[in-house]
Amino acid sequence: MTTPRTEHLVLPGVLTAEEASVTVRGILAAQREDGAIPWFRGHHLDPWDHTEAAMALDASGEHEAAARAYAWLARHQNPDGSWYAAYADGDFERVTDRSRESNFCAYVAVGVWHHYLATGDDVFLDRMWPVVHAAVEFVLALQRPGGQIGWKREADGSAVTDALLTGSSSVYHALRCALAVAEQREEPQPDWELAAGALRHAIRRHPERFLDKDRYSMDWYYPVLGGAVTGAEATARIAAGWDRFVVPGLGVRCVVPNPWVTGGESAELALTLWMVGESDRALDVLQSIQHLRDPASGLYWTGYVFDDRAIWPEELTTWTAGSLLLAVAALGGDEATCAVFGGERLPVGLDPDCAC
């Protein structure tokens, strides 16, 4: 295995170039020959976390490995444009959860756009366009009249109409990236623009259209991370939840009032803080979770129960490491990562805010 080039992933108190290389190698070691990236060897793969890890590989310059991850998605896409929620490691033809979650399926658009911006590979974009198109169509078939996105389709094909704020916020980001892909290919998708605008409006103005998951930190920051809530509203939202969810020196709670901080949520909050111009705070959060780092593998423990001073669960996950690398890449000015999460050049959709 070659040594990754990670000089651009150096961040004081978070990663040296060598530490970043070890982390990248940790993700590569978990990746299967066919491109699949499970949570860790012996655990399952889900399409969202698989894509997050692939994006981290692109941010680290491992473009060939990332391309293999997207090729895996293309090969395993269902005829209706979806992917299943979980596949067994070691036998990825064996599905362990046959439900199909909307945000899991949409996220391929974020990864594809990120890979294209990182590589400029037009052939890749052409090859993945039918994959992105089918995935978006599957997801938008779950959109409700109020703009929110139904959570999933069950194994029997029935639609779950309840919507999750975090999931819908992630879908909004994915729709913007899908529109960017369509724009690059000069294939206008006016229905997607309308759907994205309606979804943004629901996220910003109609919290009652989503299941109440206020205790979860992701529902706090994801409307900002997904790009639906911006400007002064975004700053105010982050400020309002800060004391509820952030544990100084340790990271971000997954759920209040549980004494459990998680690496993935902490890294995503750091990326969100970078988006709203609070890079110093973002750096503090990333520094605070280095107690979750396993020096040998370079990967990160999923979480830490601070009342018990115990790592839990005892798993080192590719997606936790991936989310941290993406946050570091944004803070370090990686062009593709900044463009995908900064969102300045992403279409926003046709927002009905002004008419409602």
pLDDT for the residue 353: 59
Please name the residue that has the structure tokens 């310059």: 61
Helix axes 318-331, 47-59, angle to 10 degrees: 40
- Identify the DSSP state of 196: H
**80-90 pLDDT tens trace:** 999 999 999 87
Q: Residue 219 and residue 317: Cα distance in Å, rounded?
A: 22
pLDDT for the residue 102: 98
Categorize the per-residue pLDDT at 6 as very low, low, confident or very high, splitting at 50, 70 and 90: confident
Asked whether the predicted pLDDT for residue 355 surpasses 80, the reply is no
pLDDT for the residue 7: 82
Length of the chain: 356
Categorize the per-residue pLDDT at 354 as very low, low, confident or very high, splitting at 50, 70 and 90: very low
Strand partners, 310: 305
Asked whether the predicted pLDDT for residue 1 surpasses 70, the reply is no
**116-156 pLDDT tens trace:** 999 999 999 999 999 999 999 999 999 999 999 999 999 99
pLDDT for the residue 216: 98
Strand partners, 159: 153
- 130 alpha carbon, distance to own chain's centre: 21
Of 51, 95, 94, the residue nearest 74 (C-alpha): 51
- Among 7-11, 49-53, 216-220, the range scoring the smallest mean pLDDT is 7-11
Q: Residue 105 and residue 84: Cα distance in Å, rounded?
A: 8
Categorize the per-residue pLDDT at 195 as very low, low, confident or very high, splitting at 50, 70 and 90: very high
pLDDT for the residue 8: 85
pLDDT for the residue 356: 40
Report the mean per-residue pLDDT for the chain: 96
**310-341 pLDDT tens trace:** 999 999 999 999 999 999 999 999 999 999 99
* The token pair that represents 351 in the structure block: 């927002």
Strand partners, 293: 300
In the chain, % of residues over pLDDT 70: 97
Fold of 38-212: Glycosyltransferase (1.50.10)
Of 47, 44, 117, 38, the residue nearest 75 (C-alpha): 47
Q: Where are the domains of the chain?
A: 1-30+213-341, 38-212
Domains 1-30+213-341 and 38-212 share a fold: yes
Categorize the per-residue pLDDT at 67 as very low, low, confident or very high, splitting at 50, 70 and 90: very high
How confident is the model over 201-210, as a mean pLDDT?
98
Give the right CATH number for 1-30+213-341 from 1.10.3720.10, 1.50.10.10, 3.40.50.2300, 1.10.760.10. Answer: 1.50.10.10
How confident is the model over 190-205, as a mean pLDDT?
98
